[in-house]
Chain A
């Protein structure tokens, strides 16, 4: 069997804030077509790692590679230009604006023609069509793209935020606690959406505290501990309690047997 390609890789990343070492030579790997969950106790460096990958933080040392090419992100805008989209925990949508407007916020489709480009005239009809097509692609059942986001439920709003990233990501989507603020049914809806995105060929990194959700959706689980990667496990072969034990340091990664993919 052919090994899946590595889409994104980070080697030996370190980041210190004064006396505090957030990342201490952390490694990271995301494979083509997978959902990779990143878990870790508070202070394990999980958000620091994600911030480095999404360009929000510049690491002190280490290397990030995208499709085998070394990249340097100085801001989230740089990462976005490389096709990496991040959905932040606090729902980053403008509630009074319509779904279509939110999907294209900051990246509006302009009308053709020189004058339209000069005045930056937006193509509302095209944006509406694209929004419809895109939301149907992801099987998000919202009837009208012209309703304002504030009329939606929390899960639907998260759906809009995730769909926006999916529309523009060419390489990777990073989701920070996408189900944290949601009820059971809504959470499942968002998980389904994440699976749809993976099935369309876009690899997904998901940070979550919700172990049942992680085990339900992840293809591999990256366990972050004390600023480094403790290991990557296969959720089909390792139990939830063993994973949590490694995460908290109660067990050594080596104890996990063949469920441990990378030590």
Chain B
């Protein structure tokens, strides 16, 4: 027995290649971009990329919260409307009550975090399915948003609320500061998920709750923290939304609700939980942004954009389902 104990067989290059669930969205994105590049001369321009990046920003950040939740084999149907409520709190506090913008932002973050916490409590304490809890929350919060704002759009005072809408230029493309924030959040989340013990526990809770519990992981606490942190992330998305649009819009968040789930699924994260990568979600958000932008540029009516995104989601879920059946 002279075998060395520390030698790990090196993985071959082929084994190291990411699986098709990771490569798939990347290839899809490149194909879509080539297609739009051919169809519209305005697609590959710096100013057009500015538009796309601005759109990706909000869905991308929402998608981070959504990814954390879906990794635990949950789902959040209320993320977009929670964000809308947060943006109303931020703008109303600053504009109507004259509270300093930074405090108004904190109030908005607190409100969205509270909604995430309530989602988490209902799921962990009363053991309700996440789908039902967040479906209920979707209706409750969207009504609350309309009642609180009296269905009126709120103008934003200049200052901190618009901070992440400020742009800088790289060549022809102007990039909002919010994009940097989004990228930063993705990197932090990636480090959390891959390098920390709680991050690995999150995967374990989604992959096999029973195994996680038996190894002593406090599964219910993990879930409660995930939903609460997701709420906080939706608050950050609310700030970005206000920065981008310059208003508090009570009707915002309707399309972002499903877009965030679409981004996660397109990015290869499994709806069954426990499998997926955070950067896949960024890729998914970019695909949605490019698709919407390209279809608009090529003159496709927005009704068609919606069914095309729908088909994409079903395709992505099918791929997920098939890969699960195989293993």
Contacts and interface: CB of A to CB of B under 8 A. Distances in A.
Interface stretch (A33-41, A144-152, A191-199, A212-220): A144-152
A138 B214 CA distance: 22
B8 A106 contact: no
B215 A92 contact: yes
B271 to A, nearest CB: 13
Interface in A55-112: 76-77, 80, 88, 90, 92-97, 101-102, 105-108, 110
A146 B196 contact: no
A143 interface: yes
Interface of B: 3, 5-6, 8-9, 11, 195-198, 200-201, 203-204, 207-208, 210-212, 214-217, 274-275, 327
A252 interface: no
Contacts of B6: 129, 132-133
Nearest to A129: B6
Contacts, number: 80
Interface stretch (A21-29, A42-50, A116-124, A253-261): A116-124
A97 B204 contact: yes
Nearest to B210: A92
Q: Which among A106, A121, A132, A133 has the greatest number of chain B C-beta atoms within 10 A?
A: A106
Given A94-B204, A105-B200, 7 more contacts: A80-B216, A96-B207, A96-B275, A105-B215, A108-B200, A119-B196, A120-B196
B195 A121 contact: yes
A104 to B, nearest CB: 9
A153 interface: no
Contacts of A107: 215-216
Contacts of B203: 94, 96-97
Contacts of B211: 92-94, 102, 105
B217 to A, nearest CB: 5
A108 B215 CA distance: 11
Nearest to A130: B5
B274 A105 contact: no
B197 A122 contact: yes
A90 B9 CA distance: 31
Given A80-B216, A136-B5, A97 B197 contact: no
